[in-house]
Structure 1
Amino acid sequence: MRRVVLFGYRGTGKTGIGTVLARRLGVSFLDTDSLIEQQSGRTIPGIFREDGEERFRERERDAIAGLPLRDCVIGTGGGAVMDPVNMEHLRAGSVCVLLTADIATIERRLARAPRPPLTSLSSADEIREMIAHRRSQYAAAEDFCVDTSRTSTGEAADRILSLLKKGTVPAPKREAAYRWFAAGPLPAPELEDLASRLFGPGCDVQTRFLGVAGYPCGHSRSPLLFNRLFDRYHLNCHYTRFEDPSIETILRVARDIDAKGLSVTIPFKRDVMAHLDEIDDAARQVGAANTVVFACGSARGYNTDWLGIRKPLAGHAGARAVLLGAGGVAAAAAYALVDLDMEVTILNRTPAKAQALAEQSGCRWGGWDEFGRIDPDLVVNATSLGMQPDRRSPLRDDQLKKEMTVCDLVYTPPVTPLIAAARKAGCETVTGTEIFIQQAREQFRLFFGIDVPDTVIQEILA
């Protein structure tokens, strides 16, 4: 059997439920806190008090790295999810169950086994703040979610056993979802693979689904990248394409198959936000979400585009920049460039759209024909011009000067007409592939809590 790993805040029942679950499965229960105490000869509060949290986390990392790879149930410390190295070890070949409970229940349970406080807040406020701080990591840790507020340990263990055996998606919903995918443009090999995973002979009800949501999204390299990463990190997941003119339909199908997450692309990065339960601060300020994480019945939106843009351009902080375009990805680019203290002018063929984004992001704006008067240090293309099969460049060759740095957010093809022309002019260039690598790396962390090295993604996309 796959390992079953229980995550959750202290007091959600990991030890009690894990002990019962392991007994019913006929395997060992391993509690990482207990292992640390056995290996160190000291209690967890004692380690915190004498060595500090950093040393405790080192011991925790070592204990997790040494866990067996199968045939056991594992209970983790409440903060183990914060370390990407822990998540890489714990998620490999495992079914991950997030245990939750309401604040009052957790507070009552913790009162029976007190530990030194982690903050100066009251007990309830500390619980609330710590859970909020770890929220995205707990969501990344979840394959299945069980609320233990009003269950006994035995009832919660039974619920997990049912999830392991039956999953969360009944056969009729799987078949209906397949019919929707089959009616769309999904290539035959991808459709066959998806069918085998949804309801084919021996299909695994524990498999989690993710995908790119767009119209169109056939150009996306995300399915290739994510499915290779699932193999590399031994994740029981499958990534496909959700292509439809309606984001409402896409989200309905995603929920019907209990999808774990979506990468959102054109034209839905703004529209999707109206259908989410929560939106993180960056996505709210950008006004666009390119990542949706489903966890415990809730859909939370994030924006990783801006981080993908910011990292490769960090060395150009303070530059005079021109941003071409005013759509969802342009909003993320504006947010990143402003965060780098650049003097940004947004140009668009419809000046009113440039003005609207400029007012939202605190930038200057103008029409497309004003490029020549600005003399920028940096040019960022956030339009779709140059995306296959389009072979146009957003700028003429004579507008490019060797002193410029040119960044194209389009990544198919890897060398766009703009990048080719910029290189010919002697410009420094930043390709869309470089941006894609960084934003995909952040998406993977939001989906699974694992930090993938740039080099791994580069090898897959090469």
Structure 2
Amino acid sequence: MRAVLIGFRGTGKTEVGRLLAHINDVPFFDTDRMIEESAEKTIYEIFAEQGEEEFRRKERRVIASLPEGDAVIATGGGAILDPGNVRKLREGSTVFLLQADEAAIERRIRDTRRPSLTRLPLRDEIHELLAVRRDAYLSAADFCIDTTIKNANEVSLEIHRVLSGGAVSWKRRERGMEVIRASGIGHEDIGEIEKVLMGEGTDTLTRVYAIMGYPCTHSKSPQLFNRLFSRYRVNAFYTRLQDPEIGTVVRVAGDIDLRGASVTIPFKQAIIPSLDHLDRDADAIGAVNTVVYCGGKSYGSNTDWLGIRGPLAEYRKARAVVLGAGGAAAAAVYALQDLEMEVTVLNRTPGRAEELSARFGCAHAPLSAFEALDPGVVVNATPVGMTPDHHSPLRPGQLKSGMVIFDLVYTPPETPLIRMARNAGARVIQGPEMFVRQAAAQFRRFTGIQVPPAEIKEMME
């Protein structure tokens, strides 16, 4: 048993950690205490004399030195802001995020001698830092425990129960499996998820992730994410949740205690009403492709726009056209506007193009206006060209040298549009580039671990 406790100061990590280590008869490591012992100074003195940067350097060194094997580890509140720390802490461990409301945190730390990280009053500092750290906390955790109205003994016993038998009952797991068995996914997929959830000797601490869609049997995400989990020693498994009704998918997610999900067609908008929190990017785009579940709450975000923005970063302020008016098109417009591009939305149905452009304050036009616009950047955000479709949203004569053509379709990688663009001498960016970058961002949302896009690309080849 190896458990790591993360969270803001005042959530009870040290006291809970000591009790949990005692219950399980394993060593206890407090990284803040280890820093103080090695520096022969208090954390307050380190901050006052050497600054936060030096403290973080000492923190990285201490975390890197943690021995392997059974233990309970309590970390400092900002430790998980460093991806290297997260990677080390997650290896072979189950990570628990201890949470509490702002009033409880203020009450618990008001009289402690710890350095201020801002010049704000204590309550305002807590609010600001929690907002900054929330995504990092949620990403790095396997389970979330609210300590607001619980004492350290109650919290340690709750964690012990999760460590002993997981967070949901066998009855709920079986109810979820009944739907999965009838969902139309392959026998191999069903066998693998059944083994993880219900098999003999099941590890109830294995966290489950999935692609949500209808259909989603074609998705490459399970293969990719399971390889990533294995490479980074994260105790997790990725599968498929498929049903025509989003309500059914969400219920199954709860029954099997899903930790996170990639969301694809047709649920990127439909899932939003079921979420407790929506980040700024997803709210602006109006679509969600990533969901994290923790502590009975659901958090939606969008990494598609990051997958579009990355390959186009060098073309800032170009004149751009987005083909399509759905969720992918919204992510594309958001990404291009972030690069200060002049964007026009073209769609076969003018009304939908007008609606999307109104949301973002950009231009719209019918597809017939393409040549007159003379764009430097073209993003295909329609499904035209996706297997088994063999068409292109544009004609060969509309493409020319000097254009940048980015086709978001990634199955197949070489779409009819990409072939035509190559023949016209245009620069092409294929769909897998977007998939790779958004997957890297998504994996960090799921685990807190930062993976270079090139590594994901190599895994897919």
TM-score (norm 1): 0.98
Distance 1:89 1:332 in 2: 33
Distance 1:415 1:185 in 2: 28
State the match for 1:281 in structure 2. 280
Distance 1:150 1:303 in 2: 33
Distance 2:199 2:25 in 1: 29
**Partner SS for 1:219:** coil
Structure 1 residue 99: Cα displacement: 0.9
- 8 Å CA contact retained: 2:386, 2:409: yes
Structure 1 residue 74: Cα displacement: 0.3
**Partner SS for 1:134:** helix
State the match for 2:406 in structure 1. 407
- What amino acid does structure 1 have at the position aligned with 2:346? L
- 8 Å CA contact retained: 1:96, 1:144: yes
- What amino acid does structure 1 have at the position aligned with 2:332? A
State the match for 2:355 in structure 1. 356
**Partner SS for 1:245:** coil
**Partner SS for 2:258:** coil
State the match for 1:15 in structure 2. 14
Structure 1 residue 124: Cα displacement: 1.9
Distance 1:355 1:4 in 2: 52
Deviation per CA, 1:179-209, whole angstroms, max 9, x where unpaired? 1111112111111111100101111111111
Structure 1 residue 111: Cα displacement: 2.9
Distance 2:107 2:283 in 1: 35
Distance 1:187 1:322 in 2: 39
Structure 1 residue 382: Cα displacement: 0.1
State the match for 2:290 in structure 1. 291
- What amino acid does structure 1 have at the position aligned with 2:247? E
Structure 1 residue 125: Cα displacement: 2.0
- 8 Å CA contact retained: 1:212, 1:265: yes
Distance 1:119 1:269 in 2: 37
Runs of 5+ unmatched residues, structure 2: none
The more displaced of 118-127 and 423-432 is: 118-127
State the match for 1:180 in structure 2. 179
Matched, 1:314 2:313: yes
Structure 1 residue 396: Cα displacement: 1.4
Structure 1 residue 150: Cα displacement: 2.5
- 8 Å CA contact retained: 1:219, 1:412: no
Distance 1:198 1:358 in 2: 45
Query: How many correspondences in the alignment?
Result: 461
Distance 1:336 1:149 in 2: 39
State the match for 1:194 in structure 2. 193
Deviation per CA, 1:314-347, whole angstroms, max 9, x where unpaired? 1111111111000001000001111111111111
- What amino acid does structure 1 have at the position aligned with 2:245? S
**Partner SS for 1:52:** helix
Distance 1:304 1:138 in 2: 18
State the match for 2:341 in structure 1. 342
Matched, 1:25 2:31: no
- 8 Å CA contact retained: 2:287, 2:302: yes
Extract structure 1 runs of 4+ deviating beyond 6 A: none
Distance 1:401 1:70 in 2: 60
Distance 1:168 1:133 in 2: 28
RMSD: 1.2
**Partner SS for 2:370:** helix
- 8 Å CA contact retained: 2:43, 2:115: no
State the match for 1:381 in structure 2. 380
Q: How does 1:32-431 map to 2 (within 5 A)?
A: 32-431=31-430
Deviation per CA, 1:101-160, whole angstroms, max 9, x where unpaired? 222222222134221222222222221221121111111122122222232322221111
- What amino acid does structure 2 have at the position aligned with 1:195? E
**Partner SS for 2:210:** strand
**Partner SS for 2:66:** coil
TM-score (norm 2): 0.98
Distance 2:22 2:274 in 1: 42
Distance 1:398 1:219 in 2: 32
Structure 1 residue 367: Cα displacement: 1.2
Distance 1:140 1:258 in 2: 16
- What amino acid does structure 2 have at the position aligned with 1:146? I
- 8 Å CA contact retained: 1:260, 1:293: yes
Deviation per CA, 1:182-239, whole angstroms, max 9, x where unpaired? 1112111111111100101111111111111111212221111111000011111111
Distance 1:342 1:117 in 2: 40
Distance 2:270 2:401 in 1: 38
Structure 1 residue 57: Cα displacement: 0.8
Deviation per CA, 1:279-328, whole angstroms, max 9, x where unpaired? 11111111111111112211111111111100110111111111100000
Deviation per CA, 1:397-432, whole angstroms, max 9, x where unpaired? 222112211000011112112112211222111111
Distance 2:270 2:158 in 1: 36
The more displaced of 369-378 and 300-309 is: 369-378
- What amino acid does structure 2 have at the position aligned with 1:289? V
Report percent identity of matched pairs: 51
Deviation per CA, 1:246-305, whole angstroms, max 9, x where unpaired? 112111111221111111111111121121111111111111111111122111111111
Runs of 5+ unmatched residues, structure 1: none
